[in-house]
Amino acid sequence: MALEPVVNRLESSMSDTVNFIKINVKDHVADELSKQLDLEVTPTFIFFGRDGIEQWRSLGHLDPRRVKKSMLA
């Protein structure tokens, strides 16, 4: 299953509560951020809590239920 439609649906349905940031790791402008976030596998999905601290990351797969459940915590 292609991930882009899943991410797009989540982004549309949760845009009022979640900020989705997409980084093109092939873009040289993103090099430093990719290093800071330790992005070695694409796609990588990282969920940050309200405090800005990473809560979890998922490599190669995104479970929409996990994203929604994280919003309730």
Residue 61: which CATH number?
3.40.30
For the chain, how many structural domains are there in total?
1
Model confidence at 73: pLDDT above 80: no
Q: Which tokens hold the place of 39?
A: 């992005």
Q: How far apart are CA 56 and CA 40, in angstroms?
A: 15
Residue with tokens 């993103």: 30
User: In the prediction, which pLDDT does 57 show?
Assistant: 96
CA distances from 16 to 9, 11, 24, 34, 71 (A): 13, 9, 23, 26, 12
pLDDT band at residue 25 using 50, 70 and 90 as cut-offs: confident
Q: Which domain holds residue 33?
A: 3-72
| Confidence (pTM) | 0.84
Model confidence at 1: pLDDT above 80: no
Query: Tell me: the pLDDT tens digits for 37-60?
Result: 999 889 999 999 989 999 999 999
User: In the prediction, which pLDDT does 18 show?
Assistant: 87
